[in-house]
Amino acid sequence: MKRSFALLVFVFALLLSSITSAANFPTEEPMGGEPFGHSVKNMGNGLYVFRWWVYRNIFMVTDEGVIVTDPMNPKAAKLLLGEIRKITDKPVKYVVYSHNHHDHISGGKVFKDQGAKFIAHKNVLKELADHPSAATPLPDITFEKEYTVRLGGRALELKYFGPNHGDSLVVMRLPKEKILFIVDIVTPRRVAFRGMPDFWPDEWVRSLKEIEQMDFDYVISGHGPVNQPAIDPATVVAEQRIYLEDLMTAVKAEFNKGTHSPDKLRQVVKLPKYKNWQYYDEWLPMNIERIWAYYHMGW
Ligand SMILES: [Zn+2]
């Protein structure tokens, strides 16, 4: 009896340790952070842009409480809460996830502890079941295509465009100000991120074309260095799409000439039109290799 109890304890401990290790994504102690600083930009009418390192989110302060988006990671979320407390003592009522990636949505526990409700596209639940993180509370409210968060007379519209960067990304719109908050699929004046992790090139282009049809004048993007303006004109969405189309056209043209080696493609494909964009020299070859994989593997 004693032995079987000991065995049970052992099995339970083993189970617990496997759960703990699965939950230990590095976002618990994120890279970057403190040395890169954080800042808050007041956009007026209760809208703020919070920046931590190269990550950004928006939050909205209303008479009835606060709507927060993308808590980023435990370190950034604590800083964000501190900044919100300088502005209002109203509770954070809602936290909206832009998509499933841990580098954007970890750290929400400080808001969960205050009773905030978490909102995300329904596929975020599936993704977090497959890749759980102790730092990332599961969404309480999920939706399929569209959802509007309402609080204190303000509205934040959420819209899903199908797969593009993962398959759970939502674009957020402030209908009154005609501002979009777009994470990862639009980063103004910068080539695509490194090897384009979890980006699906053709679906990305399709989504951007659909987003261009929305009613909006401005874009706040989920990434930006310290010196980037907090807000950009609507044209940055088309600029991002045209960059991707130019990249794909250039790789395909070289591919059609018989250059099938990704190493060779990285050397010969150039897009001088974008030479002033951020990370042109460093990341363009990685972008090219991702598009090579798209044409080579259909992925
Ligand atoms: Zn992402």
Q: Find, among 233, 238, 208, 220, the residue nearest to 180 by Cα.
A: 220
Ligand 1 center to 224 CA (angstroms): 14
Ligand 1 center to 1 CA (angstroms): 51
Ligand 1 center to 55 CA (angstroms): 11
Q: What is the pLDDT of residue 17?
A: 40
Q: Edge-to-edge, what's the strand order for the sheet holding 232-233?
A: 146-151, 154-160, 170-174, 179-182, 218-221, 232-233
Ligand 1 center to 127 CA (angstroms): 12
User: Over the stretch 222-254, which tens digit does the pLDDT of each residue have?
Assistant: 998 888 899 999 999 999 999 999 999 999 999
Ligand 1 center to 111 CA (angstroms): 21
Ligand 1 center to 16 CA (angstroms): 29
Ligand 1 center to 184 CA (angstroms): 6
Q: What is the pLDDT of residue 37?
A: 87
Ligand 1 center to 12 CA (angstroms): 34
Neighbours of 30 (CB within 10 A): 22
Ligand 1 center to 65 CA (angstroms): 27
Ligand 1 center to 40 CA (angstroms): 22
Ligand 1 center to 89 CA (angstroms): 31
Task: Please give the structure tokens belonging to residue 291.
Answer: 């598009």
Ligand 1 center to 101 CA (angstroms): 5
Q: What is the pLDDT of residue 82?
A: 97
Q: What is the pLDDT of residue 1?
A: 40
pTM of the model: 0.90
Residues having C-beta closer than 5 Å to ion ligand 1: 101, 184
Task: Please give the structure tokens belonging to residue 274.
Answer: 């974008």
Ligand 1 center to 162 CA (angstroms): 14
User: Over the stretch 94-105, which tens digit does the pLDDT of each residue have?
Assistant: 999 999 999 999
Ligand 1 center to 222 CA (angstroms): 9
The answer to whether 40 touches 66, Cβ cutoff 8 Å, is no
Task: Please give the structure tokens belonging to residue 151.
Answer: 């609080």
Ligand 1 center to 192 CA (angstroms): 12
Report, in angstroms and rounded to the nearest whole number, the Rg of the chain calculated over CA atoms: 21
Ligand 1 center to 70 CA (angstroms): 11
What are the backbone angles phi and psi of residue 174, rounded to the nearest 5°?
A: -95, 105
According to DSSP, the β-strands at 55-62 and 179-182 are unpaired
DSSP H or E stretch at residue 233: strand 232-233
DSSP H or E stretch at residue 21: helix 2-22
Q: What is the pLDDT of residue 24?
A: 62
Ligand 1 center to 267 CA (angstroms): 27
Ligand 1 center to 207 CA (angstroms): 15
Segments of the chain scoring below 70 in pLDDT: 1-24, 26-28, 31-35
